[in-house]
Amino acid sequence: MISQNIQEAFNKQINAELYSSYLYLSMAACFESLNLPGFANWMKVQAREENEHAMKLFEHIVQRGGEVELESIDKPKVKWESAVEAIEDALNHEKKVTGMINDLVDLAAKENDHAAGVLLQWFVSEQVEEEANADDLLQKLKMVGTSGAPLLMLDQQVGKRE
Ligand code: FEO
């Protein structure tokens, strides 16, 4: 049986992951309007991954006899002036999520909840990857700048993400 504290914290994290999904979908829409379909694809894939993160927490609560309680999802930002600005926001957002996951790890340890701890270790590793992916994209974007051909080539490259 899952404790009340872990259940509440996991329900909050489900909301945070779904907000992440919403935020990345909003960035995808913005990239579509900036005529960067490859970046839009990258963000759609990211949005799907965030849904999967939410579902991992959802299933964990259910498997341990707890109750999932969904909250409303905040409206994300809808407009970014440039691709660099959007990816910077994505990286900063992931850093924030890493902090949330670390807090959950601390809570699981405090509650002596080993099952939650094992699940959260997956999230800890995932956050390393999430930050690295966003940072990698940001560095590449800064290298190519805002100009024609190099940016279009990078857009094609990131469009291959599945
Ligand atoms: Fe679910 Fe991007 O962290």
Atom of ligand 1 at shortest range from CA of 17: 1
Please state the φ and ψ torsions of residue 44, each to the nearest 5 degrees: -65, -40
- pTM of structure: 0.96
Cα(155) to ligand 1 centroid in Å equals 22
Percent of the chain with pLDDT over 70: 100
Q: Which ligand 1 atom is at minimum distance from the Cα of 49? A: 1
113 lines ligand 1 (CB under 6 A): no
> Is 147's pLDDT higher than 80?
no
pLDDT tens string 15-33: 999 999 999 999 999 999 9
Q: Which atom of ligand 1 is nearest to the CA of 93?
A: 2
Ligand 1 centre distance from Cα of residue 145 (Å)? 26
CA of 90 to the centre of ligand 1 (A): 10
State mean pLDDT over 1-6: 95
CB of 130 closer than 6 angstroms to any ligand 1 atom: yes
Question: Could you give all domains of the chain from N- to C-terminal order, each with its CATH number?
Answer: 4-158 (1.20.1260.10)
